[in-house]
Amino acid sequence: MSANFIIGLPAYNEDKNIHRLLNNIHAMKKQIEECLEIIVINDGSRDKTEKILKNHCDNFHYMNYINHPTNMGLGCAVSTLLEYVLKNYRDEDILITMDADNTHNPQIIPSMVNMLQKKNLDVVIASRFVSGGKEIGLPFIRKIYSRGAMLFCKLIFHIDNVRDYSCGYRAYRVGYLRNLYEYYGGHIVNSQNFECMVEILAKSGKFGVRVGEYPLVLEYGQKQDASKMNVGKTIIGYFRLAYSVRKPKLNKAEIYE
């Protein structure tokens, strides 16, 4: 039985962007044979995001969304997404996470999944920092921040073949996520904010992970509103992760197995 593709989108106040992204995903779906489903975590949006999601769900049977009653932060939205996927999908299925702001081109999803399967990897990251990857329309100061984050994460959470630790555009084997979830006692994501994507990789590095990177052209100019990331909070979050991410302690039963 072939794998299902699940596209997971955490979204908060994305009414200016998510309609275009979903249309691009629908167009990409016509190019693949595999079963593809879309699940959006609407993280307490106060704009027209839910109205747009409802309209798409009414027209496309393979799409669904989950509402958070209030905005709980990207980390909580990602945690809700992971728990939903682990409950409802098989180990051989593949989860693709993307930003909902239309800066990630879904046309590279088939290539990312092909890389995951052909190279027998656990995770493939769409990376700005490999040959063929680049950032279009990103403000200079944000480029400085992103490269500083890359250097910090490579130093503190070094994982072979990883350069882009913070990008949320990834393909995961669901079976790998299930093992990681059990290893950390159901707590893959503890952080609430944008550092959650680094947290997942940092914990994966402690557990053991096979990672590849596929070139990403980040199209920041496609985004129709300002970034929601608080740079100061995110930087503080990275430093917190440096102290908090550890291998879980084994209990006595595990020690003597």
Decide the pairing of beta strands 170-173 and 123-127.
Answer: antiparallel
- Round to whole Å and give the CA distance between 192 and 172: 21
Mean pLDDT of 30-39: 86
Hey, which bits of 44-186 come out as E strands? 63-68, 94-97, 123-127, 134-136, 170-173
Q: What is the pLDDT of residue 66?
A: 98
Q: What is the pLDDT of residue 193?
A: 87
Q: What is the pLDDT of residue 180?
A: 97
Q: What is the rounded average pLDDT for all residues in the chain?
A: 90
Tell me, what DSSP letter sits at residue 226? Answer: -
Q: What tens digit of pLDDT does each residue of 241-252 get?
A: 988 888 887 543
Residue 21 predicted with pLDDT over 90: yes
5-250 has which fold?
A: Spore Coat Polysaccharide Biosynthesis Protein SpsA; Chain A (3.90.550)
Predicted confidence band of residue 255 (pLDDT cuts 50, 70, 90): very low
Q: What tens digit of pLDDT does each residue of 107-138 get?
A: 999 999 999 999 999 999 999 999 999 888 77
**pTM (two decimals):** 0.91
**How many CB atoms are located within 10 Å of the residue 67 CB?**
15
Mean pLDDT of 202-206: 95
User: Which sequence spans correspond to the domains of the chain?
Assistant: 5-250
